[in-house]
Every structure is written in C-alpha cells, then in structure tokens.
Amino acid sequence: MEIWLNQSSSDDFVLLGIFSHSSTDLVLFSAVMMVFIVALCGNVLLIFLIFMDPQLHTPMYFFLSQLSFMDLMLVCTNVPKMAANFLSGRKSISFVGCGMQIGLFVCLVGSEGLLLGLMAYDRYVAISHPLHYPILMSQRVCLQIVGSSWVFGITDGLIQMVVVMTFPYCGLREVDHFFCEMLSLLKLACIDTSIFENVIFACCVFMLFLPFSIIVASYARILRTVLHMHSVQAVRKALATCSSHLTAVFLFYGAAMFIYLRPKRYRAPSHDKVVSVFYTVLTPMLNPLIYSLRNREVMGALRKGLDHCRIVNQH
C-alpha cells in the first residue's frame, strides 16, 4: 500500500471512455445517466421496503436486500467517475483510484455471482422441502450464505487488485475502457503478463461455473419436484417464484461469460465496453424491477408505504 501512495501524478492512468462529445454520444450518455439514477433509486427503495416491512423478513428477501446492496455499490464504483471525466473533459484516474476500482469491481461481481448461485438453493428448499424450510434456511444458514459470498468476493478482489497493481506500466498509460477494467489495464504492462492472464481466465471459469453448477443442480431438482406436482396452481406458484431469479441469472451470467470466457482472439474493446455498460449499469437497474413488478409481496409493501405517506400528508 505504501508503494501505491508514493506514486506521483505522472503515474495516473487515462481512461479513454466510451463516449465522445458528438450529439449521438451525448444522447447515449444522458440515457446511461438516467439508467444509473433509476438503478440507484430502485435498489435503495427495495432495500428500504425489505427492511421496513415485517412480511418481507424472510430468507429470500434477506438475500434480495444483499443483492440490491451489491448492485448499489457496483453502479457507484464506476459510473460517477465516468460521468465526472466526461463532463469535466479530464480523463485521468489516479494509480490508487484505479486499484480501488479493480478491487471493488472484482469483489462485487464475484460476491453477486456466488450469491445468485446460492439463492437457487434457497428456491430449491422452498419448493422441494417446504415443511423443513424454516429449519434448513435458518437465520444462521442465511448469514453463512451471505457471509461466504462476501468473503469469496473480497478475497478474490484483494488478490487480483494487489497483483495487477504491482506490475510496471509504461507508455501513454491509456486504458481503452470507461473504468479500470483489469484485462484492459494488463495490455499496458511493460512485462509479459500471459501467465497471470491464464490464471485469471482459470479463476473466472471457476468463479462463474461454481455458482452456475449450484444453479443447474438446484433447478434440476426443482424441475423434478414440479413434474411430480398434481396441482396446476402449485406448479404456477413454483414457476412464478423461480422466474425472477432465473431472469436475473441469465442477465448476469450471460454478460459475464461473454466478456471473460471468450478466446482472446475474439475480444474487441468496443464490444467489451458495451457489454460492461450492460452489466455494470443496466443489470443493477433491472434487478429491482424484475423482483418488484413480478412480486406481489414487494408491490404490496410498496402500496402500504405509499398509503402511509398519503395519510401522513393529509394530517
């Protein structure tokens, strides 16, 4: 850390960004900022509703509040700096700031990926073992699931941040991205980083396929349970409770696999930047909408909150 703090301003990196100052890009920038504001408001509102409404004090909504908190941190890690650079015309980011962005981004993506995987196990227990659900998903188990997700992400983020920021960087130090994305930064290293990149690729495979295997195993068992149900209403309820989670899984894992599991020869900075916008800004906005608009309990809590505000204003 002391080495990092001793870096001079000449060691700053330049973020080339994703937008120019053309009229089309100004419209696109405005759209991204609108999505950012909706993501902020949506996730804060969802966390608030889950905290305030006793009916939402269940394992599923506890996990959902953590997911929203991760999404909230994710959009605040990269977007404000991107907006500040675009509006001010300055494109620099400090050496320490770049390291912090890498660490936070990897930590949050890793934590969210594992939490989404473990949330599938929660759905499996709720559908396949409803009578044992309070025991199998006790408060202790819920805290262990959330804690392991955070520990997994933080450990991975710290390791990758420290290793990447100890490499020597030279040349113009221009990062072809709108934030300090690790793979884009490694292209600027003065030494051969191919071994480290192969290790990172193996880590990404593990980080994506560990939770993904939990999801596949959980939903295979859920499907088997659903096929043995005799009530159409029970089948609909089971599918409804899984649809929101599956939508969030496809959004998150689709974008992550596109960026990190493609062979190197098929990677293009322009494609990576667009997909990065998708899962650093758009997905955090969509998650609270997916879980609220398609969920009676959350919509009920929202209506109660609005009714309470209306009564208070009348008095």
With beta carbons less than 8 A apart as the criterion, state whether 277 and 32 touch.
yes
With beta carbons less than 8 A apart as the criterion, state whether 214 and 118 touch.
yes
Where are the strands (E) in the chain, listed by range? 13-15, 92-93, 174-175
Prediction pTM value: 0.88
Q: How far apart are the first and last CA of the chain?
A: 55
With beta carbons less than 8 A apart as the criterion, state whether 45 and 65 touch.
no
pLDDT at residue number 194: 87
pLDDT at residue number 293: 67
* Closest alpha carbon to 13 in 243, 249, 223, 175: 175
Query: Average pLDDT, whole number, for the chain?
Result: 85
Low-confidence spans in the chain with pLDDT less than 50: 1-9
Domain boundaries, the chain: 12-296
Pull the structure tokens for residue 94.
Answer: 């400090």
pLDDT at residue number 312: 62
pLDDT at residue number 177: 87
With beta carbons less than 8 A apart as the criterion, state whether 225 and 128 touch.
yes
Return d(Cα 17, Cα 34) in angstroms, integer: 18
Sheet with 92-93, strands from edge to edge, namely 92-93, 13-15, 174-175
Q: In terms of CATH, what superfamily is 12-296?
A: Rhodopsin 7-helix transmembrane proteins (1.20.1070.10)
pLDDT at residue number 7: 47
What Cα–Cα distance (Å) separates residue 20 from each residue in 8, 23, 91, 219?
28, 9, 12, 44
Pull the structure tokens for residue 179.
Answer: 């934030």
* Per-residue b or e along 18-29, where b marks 16 or more CB atoms closer than 10 Å to that residue's CB: bbeeeeeeeeeb
Pull the structure tokens for residue 86.
Answer: 């675009």
**Number of neighbouring beta carbons within 10 Å of residue 65:** 20
Return d(Cα 213, Cα 205) in angstroms, integer: 11
For residue 231, the surrounding DSSP H or E stretch is none
For 169-191, what is each residue's pLDDT tens digit? 887 888 888 899 888 898 889 88
pLDDT at residue number 145: 95
